Amino acid sequence: MEMAKINELKRIAANIRLGILEEVYSASSGHPGGSLSIADILAYLYFVEMKVDPKNPDWEDRDRLVLSKGHTAPALYATLAERGFFSKEELKGFRNINSFLQGHPDMKHTPGVDMTTGSLGLGISAACGMALASKLQNKDFRVYSILGDGEVEEGQVWEAAMFAAHYNLDNLCAFIDFNGLQIDGKITEVIDPTPIDKKFEAFNWNVVVIDGNNPEEIEAAVENAKACKGKPTAVICKTIKGYGVSFMENQASWHGTAPNKEQYEQAVAEITASIK
């Protein structure tokens, strides 16, 4: 990947992170930690890879993204706003009673949201249904999904994993945000779901393990998934929860906590400085 493209993706990801911070700060609630960790994945998907049309969000042939870890809606909304699906001004209304930006993604009211999610484990199944629909309709749209590493503790994720492999859904690519933390602490201490890569391999998926905050590695994983025939791909993304904000990084306590004014200003300063 050329340096200019890397820098551009880093700039976009930083803008997404600023959007995330604005949302959770404005709402005084929301989930910054896991939102910050997936900003680089979303930046790559929406600004390089996915066929989408912000002017026609319901375009039938578009690629889809199902945010299975729906609590990181701030990251998706900031990405959609950055991509032009709606005004960035809307981000201030996140979780507000008059806003279409619900606490968790709502496909009926938010332009660009492809699936309603929030209850963990359901999104990846719905993504399977969309990937199957693409094949049944002889279309070539691809389906992406982002799951949490805590989310894979849900049994339904593995029901979906069986289904996707059994029906050879090679147009499905699932990113697992392996930041190592969930609400109650380290995933290995709460109820250890590791090794996640070996589990997906055992479920007959094509598996790639990458640094999920590195645009070049994200690109290589997406290209690997597209080249793989007959199998769905799981991209295990080693990420840093709270990425880019020093005091939020690797802290489970920032899973679902909003920053106060002082913290917000410091966080914005750090993200802004990172792209200067």
- Say whether residue 115 binds other proteins (CB under 8 A): yes
Residue 272 beta carbon to other proteins: minimum distance, rounded to whole angstroms? 36
Which lies closer to other proteins via its Cβ, residue 137 or residue 260? 137
Residue span 148-177 as binding mask against other proteins, x where in contact by CB under 8 A, dash where not: -------xx--xx-xx--xx----------
Cβ 77 vs Cβ 23: under 8 Å: yes
Measured in whole angstroms, how far is the alpha carbon of residue 192 from the centre of its chain?
22
Can you name the residues that pair with 174 across neighbouring β-strands? 145, 234
Residue 91 beta carbon to other proteins: minimum distance, rounded to whole angstroms? 22
Residue 153 beta carbon to other proteins: minimum distance, rounded to whole angstroms? 14
- Say whether residue 210 binds other proteins (CB under 8 A): no
Site for other proteins in 125-144 (CB under 8 A): 125-134, 136-137
Structure tokens at 36: 């910050």
- Say whether residue 118 binds other proteins (CB under 8 A): yes
Centre a 10 Å sphere on the Cβ of residue 100 and count the other Cβ atoms it contains.
Answer: 16
- Say whether residue 122 binds other proteins (CB under 8 A): yes
Residue span 6-45 as binding mask against other proteins, x where in contact by CB under 8 A, dash where not: ----------------------------------------
Cβ 34 vs Cβ 72: under 8 Å: yes
Structure tokens at 238: 């080693």
Q: Which amino acid appears at position 76 of this protein?
A: L
Helices (H), 214-254: 215-227
Residue with tokens 């799981």: 234
- Say whether residue 76 binds other proteins (CB under 8 A): no
Strand (E) or helix (H) holding 176: strand 172-178
What is the number of H-type helices and E-type strands within the chain?
A: 10, 7
Instruction: Give the residues lining the site for other proteins (CB under 8 A).
Output: 60, 64, 66, 106-108, 114-116, 118-119, 121-122, 125-134, 136-137, 155-156, 159-160, 162-163, 166-167
